[in-house]
Chain A
Amino acid sequence: DAGITQSPRHKVTETGTPVTLRCHQTENHRYMYWYRQDPGHGLRLIHYSYGVKDTDKGEVSDGYSVSRSKTEDFLLTLESATSSQTSVYFCAISRDRASQETQYFGPGTRLLVL
């Protein structure tokens, strides 16, 4: 397994509260990604990072922010959680964004917003 951990693995929170999910990698890969996975949808990209302090938006970025202060850590923050953000969140890493670079996924965080 690629050296990716996510924390927490499970979280229950209430609408309107801030939530931060953490992704930690030990592979020293440059690119990190946050996806969400919902029934009836494929994995959808939220945000990604191409280096320390360098981030960009993905397909479904509204309501989410990210930060990357160290190569190994990528944080996803829900500033004010809503029920529509109940989902399973996956972090992924890749050595580079160029072609032929595979993304490897973490174990996921299951988030329930009540």
Chain B
Amino acid sequence: EDQVTQSPEALRLQEGESSSLNCSYTVSGLRGLFWYRQDPGKGPEFLFTLYSAGEEKEKERLKATLTKKESFLHITAPKPEDSATYLCAVQAAAGSYQLTFGKGTKLSVIP
């Protein structure tokens, strides 16, 4: 069974204090790993897709990296508007292509 574990569950940062969110996964062959951002009362917003170990993608203050067992979402010099819940999901290489989501990390950036 595919599993995704995100840590920490919640993270409070001061504005400008860089940190990383973790997504550990077990899947029978990874087809893709997805990061989403979700604001309260809204649907998940797509951020990145990673396909193979060693791959990195960046968008503004966010950088996502991937190894064979986990992915990190690095946040550099965060701002209050980066406050949101960040979701990680994996798609297996075989079977129904269903996405398996983690429970998310709630990030709060304090001014």
Residues of chain A at the chain B interface (Cβ within 8 Å): 4, 40-45, 56, 58-59, 90, 97-100, 102-108
Q: How close is B102's CB to chain A, nearest CB, in angstroms?
A: 5
The stretch that binds A, out of B13-21, B44-52, B56-64, B68-76, is B44-52
In B13-45, the 8 Å CB interface with A consists of 31-32, 34, 36, 41-45
Q: Does B86 contact A (CB under 8 A)?
A: no
B79 at the interface (CB under 8 A from A): no
A40, A45, A90: the one within 8 Å of B43 (CB): A90
Q: How far is the CA of A108 from the CA of B31 in the complex (A)?
A: 27
Instruction: State A59–B104 Cα separation when bound (angstroms).
Output: 19
Q: How far is the CB of B3 from chain A (nearest CB, A)?
A: 10
Which of B41, B44, B51, B101 is within 8 Å of A100, CB to CB? B51
| With A99-B97, A100-B51, A105-B46 already in contact, 14 other A-B pairs whose C-beta atoms are closer than 8 Å | A42-B87, A42-B102, A43-B99, A45-B98, A90-B43, A90-B44, A99-B93, A100-B49, A102-B46, A102-B49, A103-B99, A105-B43, A107-B43, A108-B43
Contacts of A104 in B (CB 8 A): 46
Could you tell me the distance in whole angstroms from the C-beta of B106 to the nearest C-beta in chain A?
Answer: 11
Asked if A43 and B87 make an inter-chain contact with CB atoms under 8 angstroms apart, the answer reads yes
- The answer to the question of B107 belonging to the interface, with a C-beta cut-off of 8 Å to chain A, is no
| Inter-chain contact A42/B101, CB cutoff 8 Å | yes
Closest to A41 in B: B103
Give me the interface of B with A, judged by CB distance under 8 Å: 4, 31-32, 34, 36, 41-46, 49, 51, 87, 89, 91, 93, 96-104
Report Cα–Cα, A44/B103, bound state, in Å: 10
Instruction: Give the CA-CA distance A43 to B32 in the complex, in Å.
Output: 17
Inter-subunit contact A45/B46 (CB<8 Å): no
Instruction: Write out the residue numbers on chain B whose beta carbons fall within 8 Å of the beta carbon of A42.
Output: 4, 87, 89, 100-104
In the bound complex, CA of A8 to CA of B107 (Å): 29
Contact B98 A59 (CB under 8 A): yes
- Measured CB to CB, the closest approach of chain A to B91, in angstroms, equals 7
Closest chain A residue, CB of each to CB of B49: A102
Contacts of A98 in B (CB 8 A): 97
